[in-house]
Amino acid sequence: MAARVGLLLPHALLVSSSRALPLPTPRARLPYPPPPILLRRASSRPRRASPRLLAVRAMSSGNPYAAELAAAKKAVTLAARLCKTVQQDIVHSGVQAKADKSPVTVADYGSQILVSLALKMDVSSGPFSLVAEEDSEELRKEGAEEILEEITDLVNETIVDDGSYNISFTKEGILSAIDDGKSEGGPSGRHWVLDPIDGTKGFLRGGQYAIALALLDEGKVVLGVLACPNLPLSSINNLNGNSSGDQVGALFSARIGCGAEVESLYGSPPQKISVCSIDNPVNASFFESYESAHSMHDLTGSIAEKLGVQAPPVRIDSQAKYGALARGDGAIYLRFPHKGYREKIWDHAAGSIVVTEAGGIVTDAAGNDLDFSKGRFLDLNTGIIATNKNLMPSLLKVVQEAIEETNQTASLL
C-alpha cells in the first residue's frame, strides 16, 4: 500500500509466490517542498531598477512583467478553485462565524499554499519573498492535527483536479508552504503580496470575496491580480453586488504602464477596462465596505451628502470593490476604518494598481499616494479614497471637510 512519506509510492501486486509482480503505475508525484531545480530559481539575484525607472521601463518594453503576471493569474485561479469548493460547503452547512477550526480557516490556509506553490514553480525571479496574512503557528499547536490533515487533503485534491503540477504535499510541506508568507516586505527587492481570502464575512455569507495578489519591485506595486469568484463578469446592477443572468467569476489584472483588464475566471479573452468618466458628483455612485465594522458608514454618508451624490451606497465585501470601480461600475470608493485599525498592504496592493492602471487615482484622505514600501502595514492619513481624475479634486476637498467636522464633534464629547 502506498505510504505518505513525502513521496507517494506506486502500488504493487503481491502474488502467492515469493516474487512481487509490480503493476504498471502512473508517474509518482513529487513531495513538497520540491528540489530546488524544480523551483526554477536563479542562483543569483538579478539587479533591480530604481523605483523612478520602473514606469519608464514599463512604457518602453513590450511585455513588462509579463511572465510574472501570467504566473500570478494562474496562481489566484488555482486558489479560487479551492475557495469555491469550501464556500459551497459553508453555504450548504449554514456556517456563519469564523472560528479557529472553521471551514474559512481551511480555505485561508489552502489558498495561500496554492498561490505560494504556483509562484515558486512558475516564476524564475531570484529569491522568493511573499508577504501574506497567514503563518503556521496555530497549526503547529497540539490539537490542530485534524484541521492540518483537512488542509493537506483539500490542497492535494485541488492540485490533482487542476493537473498543472506533479506535486503532493505532506503535512510538513503544508506548514512549510504557509510559512513562505512570513516575509516583511520593504523598500528593496521583489516581494509578492497576498491576501488569500479578502472579505472573510462575504465568503461566509456566500457573497463577494477576492484572492488578491500583487508584486512589489523596489517598494512600488508593479502588477496586481484580483480573482473574484462571485463577481459578475460584466457589471454590477444592484446593491448586493450581483447581476442576474450574467456569467459570474471575474479575474482583474494590471501591469504598470500597460493598463488594466478583466476576463472570465474560467477562461475568456481579456478586455481592457477603464474607470468611469463622470465629472458631476450628483451622477456618481460610490462603493464602501459591506460591514459597518470595517468602515465608518456615517462618515461616508456625510461625504456623499456634501458631494450631492443621489444614489445609495453600493456595499460589497473585499477588493472586489476595486475591480468594480476600475471597470466603471461606480465612480467612487471610500474606506475609513475605525480608530486604531492599521491597514495591511495586502488589503490594497492588488486593487490599487488595477484602479490606477484603469485611469483612476487612489490616495489616502490627505491626497498622498499609498506607500507599500514600509513593511506589512500602510502608514495612512485617516482613510483611503479612489475615483477618477475628474472627481478627485472635489472629492478630496469634501473628504477633508467631513473629517475635520467629525474630529471637532468628537472633541466636544
Is 200 among the residues known to form the active site? yes
Distance between CA 284 and CA 282 in Å, rounded?
6
- Residue 353 labeled ligand binder: no
Sign of the CA dihedral running 288, 74, 200, 88? positive
Residue 413 corresponds to which cell in the numbers above? 464629547
Question: Could you write out the DSSP letters of every residue in 268-322?
Answer: ---EEE-------GGG--EEE-SSTTTS-HHHHHHHHHHHT--SPPEE--STHHH
Beta strands in 68-189 (DSSP E): 130-132, 167-169
Q: Is 189 left (phi over 0), alpha (psi -120 to 50) or beta?
A: left
Closest CA to 103 of 50, 146, 142: 146
Query: Annotated binding residue at 195?
Result: yes
Question: Which residue in 105, 108, 170, 317 is the catalytic one?
Answer: 108
Tell me if 145 is assigned to a ligand binding site. Answer: no
Q: Which three cell numbers stand for residue 412?
A: 466636544
379 is in an annotated binding site: no
Distance CA 291, CA 324 (A): 18
Nearest to 208 by CA among 266, 131, 288, 150: 288
Q: How far is it, in rounded angstroms, from Cα 33 to Cα 169?
A: 8
108 is catalytic: yes
CA 88 to chain CA mean position, Å:
19
Q: Is 100 annotated as a binding residue?
A: no
Options 200, 300, 356, 387, the catalytic residue: 200
Buried b (16+ CB within 10 A) or exposed e, 90-118: beeeeeeeeeeebbbbbbbbbbbbbbbbb
DSSP annotation of 189 reads S
What residues are designated binding site?
133, 195, 197-198, 347
Enzyme catalytic residues: 108, 200
What residues are designated binding site for Mg(2+)?
133, 195, 197-198, 347
